Amino acid sequence: MLNIGLQFFAHKKGMGSTKNGRDSESKRLGPKRADGQFVLAGNILVRQRGTHIHAGTNVGIGSDDTLFAKADGVVRFERLGKDRKQVSVYPAE
């Protein structure tokens, strides 16, 4: 009798779960203007969830914690105490 070493493989491949493969759309959070950049009133400075960066001079805060410029001027990111940050807008001379 002829003895051939045959190897049998699975006839079905492993299946990925249909419950996988989803993710939410990115929210594009973070700073939108750099330190020293000139901005106009109403420009968005930082998009954030929670107040990671606080509002300083001439900066307003929206209902979703977005920071925006209240006046035309130059953006400055500053330390606020030991472990906090704030952003301010100073009028350009």
In the chain, the number of structural domains is 1
First CA to last CA distance, the chain? 100
Write down the pTM of the prediction.
0.78
Q: Which domain holds residue 79?
A: 30-90
**Residue 16 counted as domain residue:** no
Question: Residue 50's domain is classified under what CATH number?
Answer: 2.40.50.100
Give residue 86's pLDDT.
97
Selection from 64, 78, 73 nearest residue 93 by Cα: 73
User: Mind listing the pLDDT tens digit for each residue in 49-60?
Assistant: 999 999 999 999
pLDDT tens figures, 1-14: 667 777 777 676 66
User: Tokens 């472990």 label which residue?
Assistant: 83
Q: Is residue 2 part of a domain?
A: no
Range 30-44 average pLDDT: 97
Indicate whether 89 pLDDT > 80: yes
CB 28 within 8 Å of CB 38: no
- Give the closest residue to 80 by CA, choosing from 53, 58, 61: 53
